[in-house]
Amino acid sequence: MKLWEGMTDGVTDPCAESFNSSVSFDKRLYKQDITGSIVHAQMLCKCGIINEDDAELITHGLSGIMTDIETGALIPDPSCEDIHTFIEQTLTSRIGEAGKRLHTARSRNDQVAQDLRLWCVDEIDRICGLLKDLIYKTAEKALQYADAIMPGFTHLQPAQPVTFGHHLTAYAMMFERDIDRLTDCRKRTNVAVIGSCALAGTTYRTDRAYEAGLLFADGVCKNSIDGVSDRDFVIELLSCLSVIMMHLSRFSEEMILWTSGQFSFVKLPDAYTTGSSIMPQKKNPDMAELCRGKTGRVYGDLFAVLTMMKGLPLAYNKDMQEDKESLFDAADTVCACLGIFAKMVCGMTADTEKMGEAACRGFINATDLADYLVRQGLPFREAYKLCGGIVSYCIKNGKTLESLSLEEYKTFSPVFDDGVYDAIDLKNCVYRRISEGGTSPSTVGKNAVYLMKKYK
Ligand code: ARG
């Protein structure tokens, strides 16, 4: 039978039915759907649209459905079009007539938008909790290594000495902004769109503000077409999640570099590394690599929804059913990565000796040599040029800035005195960088303690 023939006599082809159904994935919205429906029944009752007996039956019936889904006694039926239909049909089959009154003054269009908003708000709170834990653990490590000197890099070339604690705190600050972004996104997400109905609002005397209050919403959407049309809140959350993954992937990349034989700055606990099937010496940073790899997947989720929404006419279109799998996938991925990452950071140890040795190579105190010359009266540009010459002299002669004699220094400029050694001492280079946000152990320690207190 042709599909259109089936449609003309009101029978849907089973293939079309299963193609159309979203239960297999939107069953995750059952809690939000039931909560929203209980609140909706309360509002209908308060406004005199349904009577108290019906409201009571609906509330009781929905609570029972919630419990049964949670215990596994009731399994969402994949042959239903979506979770909203499944819950409403189950309710009616359990409580009869009253169940049929629940869908007054609403539509699945505002219902799904509301459910999804509630889901996003819960998820934002969960992800912020995971970020807080990661910040705490990163700050704790930063405090432990507040005075561990390592080479800081630009272009992945040794640049200036920094402390490992300083480097770690940089990530903690990024995660802190991730929380800020999510908190901001939450405000725009936690809005009541229920009552927008199909698209035009309703002729019933509803009380949207009352319903919003029961949903703990931060506001009521002011345009019913907007309420059912947009999924910008999904896109905004996916953007926040993408930024989190971008941060995690950079941290991952550094973990991978730092644990490599060439660097050997960091050791990861065995519990978060894997071995090779043929190379017995291997300890691979798989967790970090997976976090780096999964970043592409979350970006893909963002782009899937952005592209799906592009050019859609207002108001609801079935295309929008496609928002959920991407959203769920991205949120699950971020939660899994944040969880494993916090454990990995907690168990990581730094080889401060190796870091210190690496800091002695690469002339990372050349800036400090130039700054010293500035203090001796040279203009910075001139000092910079002179230092460039000294570094190439060292490279040619297999020397370091520390091993040059004062006589050798004096051949470059008469302003050199033995204060130069104090100026280029790596420890001094780090300890004297007391500018706000700089790498000095005292600044790093202060920042780490601040973060640990805030995110305890
Ligand atoms: N399952 C649909 C979705 O996720 C729910 C809304 C359906 N509305 C409709 N008019 N077909 O978007």
Query: Using a 6 Å cutoff on CB, does residue 320 contact ligand 1?
Result: yes
Query: Using a 6 Å cutoff on CB, does residue 116 contact ligand 1?
Result: no
Q: What are phi and psi of 267, to 5 degrees?
A: -120, 135
- Atom number of ligand 1 nearest to Cα 83: 1
Spatial neighbors of 5 by CB under 8 A, at least 6 apart, are none
Q: Digits of tens for pLDDT over the chain (456 positions)? A: 333 344 456 788 899 999 999 999 999 999 999 999 999 999 999 999 999 999 999 999 999 999 999 999 999 999 899 999 999 999 999 999 999 999 999 999 999 999 999 999 999 999 999 999 999 999 999 999 999 999 999 999 999 999 999 999 999 999 999 999 999 999 999 999 999 999 999 999 999 999 999 999 999 999 999 999 999 999 999 999 999 999 999 999 999 999 999 999 999 998 888 887 777 777 899 999 999 999 999 999 999 999 999 999 999 999 999 999 999 999 999 999 999 999 999 999 999 999 999 999 989 999 999 999 999 999 999 999 999 999 999 999 999 999 999 999 999 999 999 999 999 999 999 999 999 999 999 999 999 999 999 999
Q: Are residues 274 and 399 in the same domain?
A: no
Query: Using a 6 Å cutoff on CB, does residue 88 contact ligand 1?
Result: no
Kindly report the CATH number assigned to the domain that includes residue 61.
1.10.275.10
> Which of 78, 104, 130 is at the close of a domain?
104
Torsion of CA 48, 53, 58, 63, to 10 degrees: 120
Q: Are residues 291 and 374 in the same domain?
A: no
Active site residues: 155, 276
Instruction: Give residue 445's domain range.
Output: 360-449
Ligand 1 centroid – CA 109 distance (Å): 6
Which residue is closest in CA terms to ligand 1's atom 3? 321
Query: Using a 6 Å cutoff on CB, does residue 343 contact ligand 1?
Result: no
Query: Using a 6 Å cutoff on CB, does residue 26 contact ligand 1?
Result: yes
Q: Which residue has the tokens 């505002």?
A: 110
Q: Are residues 176 and 316 in the same domain?
A: yes
Q: Are residues 237 and 170 in the same domain?
A: yes
Other CB atoms within a 10 A radius of the CB of residue 75 amount to 11
> Which of 328, 352, 376 is at the close of a domain?
352
What's the structural domain count of the chain? 3
pTM listed for this prediction: 0.94
Q: Are residues 333 and 191 in the same domain?
A: yes
Which residue is closest in CA terms to ligand 1's atom 1? 82
**Pairwise CA distance, residues 382 & 161, whole Å:** 22
Which residue is closest in CA terms to ligand 1's atom 11? 318
Q: Which helix (H) or strand (E) holds 392?
A: helix 380-397
**Pairwise CA distance, residues 175 & 242, whole Å:** 12
**Pairwise CA distance, residues 260 & 266, whole Å:** 8
192 assigned to some structural domain? yes
Ligand 1 centroid – CA 108 distance (Å): 6
Which residue is closest in CA terms to ligand 1's atom 2? 321
Q: Are residues 99 and 113 in the same domain?
A: no
